[in-house]
Amino acid sequence: MSTVYLAQDRKLGRPVALKVLRSDIAVEPARFAQEIRVTAQLQHPHILPLLDADDIGGYAYYVMPYVEGESLRDKLKRDGRMSLLDAVRLAREVAGALEHAHKREIVHRDIKPENILISAGHALVADFGIARIASSAPTQEPGITQAGLAVGTPAYMSPEQSLGDEVDGRTDIFSLGCVLYEMLTGRLPFGGGNAMGMLSAKMSGEVTPLTQWRDDVPEAVDVVLQRMLARDPDMRVPRAADVASELEAALTGTVLTPLPKPVKLPANAVAVLAFASMSPDTGDEYLAEGISEAIMHGLARVPGLRVIARTSAFALKGQALDVREIGARLKVRRVVEGSVRRAGQRLRVTAKLIDAETAHEVWSERFDRTLDDVFALEDDLAGAVAAQLRTLLMAEEGERLPTRQPQVAPTTSVAAYEQYLKGRFWWGQRTKAALERSVEHLQDALRIDSRFALAYAALAESYATMGLYGMAAPHEVAPTAREAANRALAIDPHSAGALCARACMRAFFEWDWEAAEQDFKAAMSADPQYPTAYQWYASTVLVPLGRFAEAQHMLSKAHDLDPLSLSIVVSRAAAAYYARLPLEAERYAREALAVDDRFAMGHFFLGLALEQSGALPDAQAALQRAVDLSGSVEAMAALASVLAARGERAEALALTQALEGQARSEYVSPVLLAQISVRTGDVQSALWHVQRAMELRAADLLWVGVRPVFDQLRRHPTWTGLLAELRLPGTVGPLSS
């Protein structure tokens, strides 16, 4: 179907793979462009990405990264059958890639060893879209092969694909089953010599069990494989995510059940997952996420429903997980998932409500609207889901939910709303560059509609986040955040986001703890399901005032609403660290790292906890890991402090000088330099840096009263005066409340 060339990207000076379709495969240019845009949206660790594509002189070509390694075909030719563990691991990685594509209604159609590359021991699925292009027709809907055309490789094609019938993701599951069978046995599951003979063997539905070829394969693995290779698509493992989870369970001897008996998922708990963007334009992802979040907010307004927060619901995006596992992780009984496709001004949204205990689809519906009608669309979606939940809860629990009240459109301008959605999309990334983009989009939204309360609140939160994370000097963000929050509250006095942002400003910029506490309590009253209110209240008011038991209570509430938020877990680690409970802090930090070992803040607070416990070498290693992952000035300062405590003064001095140099070109909080000065015994320098931080209104002054490194200054009269000016308690006990 194609020829692959090793080429050189002259612009970037890198080798690339250039794949050219055969000249006898006629490609309609507009269709080719459309399919390429759809395929280019696939971004997954086990999918070989598409760098470029075009059609020149009747030759369609693709440009992909050049991968050092080999194809699975090359490995099988050289080594023969594979070990059980390696074969199942590669199959699960391919299943993860397929699940990512299938959620976007993209079917590969040509899964075979030649299209699975092995790089650094892991699978990369190549050639998404090539069979799709070859089999497409101008009238064909994306995701469905045109009936009558069978494009693929006969030995690995499903019976329905061989017959030219319409196919969906289950054809790829069949093909993956053929590949897994070959990896384990060195043989194809269906012989026959030619295409017709293979089809005949497939139609018979009989496959020689794996146990006939090798004795180290658990029977449970063979059962899963037989289901993958079922002749009837309805009898196959239904989703690629199920393939991955069932293979793992079969390998480990785990019995898959909808839910462990002792655990009952709360019937009134629901998670709205990030809807998949099916638009040819990959830049429309913000729209899909925005519609998901709008449904979330609409459901959160129904008394009696517990709705999982955005951070946790969206954390599962792109993961090949069974819906039962999603329910268990998020502690919800119902899951809403769907997709959004945009074509010009037309929108097509498909939504499904799934029971996370049984994996049964309870309800699904398709909505076709125009972009101008997006507010009514979001309201209708939330209303439809709420109605289904009301019926289910009444039937199962005898619990009657109040009727949901229709939402008022947040703005009269669709253009302003698009900019708002883009701003929230980038705010969710939590990096400095992403937050700066968030601010740009939100400012554009407000230029279009100066009465857009949600945009003002989101702008305030973006600036507040930059200030709290030390990404900008306080004087650059605090006044703007406060002004945006006040503008939002003038329009909507019950805006939880605006109240939270203003509370943060009152805490770290004004040191007005009473006013900050009032705003946080008002935010929690306005939206009891907003986890940020509980988290920020704990971190910016309760912890600085030494009210640690209250802080952990608030963080526990935040965790219940947002169970997969690593930020909330490390906030619990921070609260324990400041309370002088290092073992508890270490436990929370390790809990976060068990989910994501590359989470820099997890390593940061692990290092602080280990330092507090006296394990200085381990603390140094953890903090060095935090520096390597993030380059954070906060982690650099903590590492310098530990180096000084270990007597490695030269290394500590080098880091300190690097921080001082960085402070000449960008904002670095003087509090960080103060803590190094304490460690090196320079008390006067430490006091000077804290006084300088007070002049700048540095955000991390919030915690100087509870930060253990400053304990030796507690009796110094200047320190006592500084704390009094900050209106912070002079002494803090580990169990203050």
Active-site positions? 110
- Determine the longest span between alpha carbons in the chain, in angstroms: 92
Distances (CA, A) of 77 to 74, 99, 187: 5, 28, 11
Question: Concatenated DSSP letters for 72-91?
Answer: HHHHHHHH-SPPHHHHHHHH
Question: Concatenated DSSP letters for 463-524?
Answer: HHHHHHTTSS-HHHHHHHHHHHHHHHHHH-TT-HHHHHHHHHHHHHTT--HHHHHHHHHHHH
**Element containing residue 277 per DSSP (H, E):** strand 276-277
3-state secondary structure of 576: helix
CB–CB of 622/606 below 8 Å? yes
- Residue 283's Cβ-count burial label (10 Å; 0-12, 13-18, 19+) is exposed
State how far the Cα of 220 lies from the Cα of 216, in Å rounded to an integer.
12
State how far the Cα of 516 lies from the Cα of 535, in Å rounded to an integer.
13
CB count in 10 Å sphere of residue 105: 18
Residue closest to 386 by CA, chosen among 296, 276, 496: 296
- Specify the amino acid at residue 214: R
Residue closest to 353 by CA, chosen among 339, 338, 363: 363
Kindly state the DSSP code that residue 68 receives in the 8-state scheme: S
How many residues are there in the chain?
737
Token readout for 588 is: 């929370």
CB–CB of 555/570 below 8 Å? no
3-state secondary structure of 123: strand
- Specify the amino acid at residue 157: M
Paired with 369 in beta bridges are 347
State how far the Cα of 508 lies from the Cα of 699, in Å rounded to an integer.
5
State how far the Cα of 696 lies from the Cα of 714, in Å rounded to an integer.
22
- Residue 678's Cβ-count burial label (10 Å; 0-12, 13-18, 19+) is buried
State how far the Cα of 123 lies from the Cα of 38, in Å rounded to an integer.
22
State how far the Cα of 290 lies from the Cα of 378, in Å rounded to an integer.
10
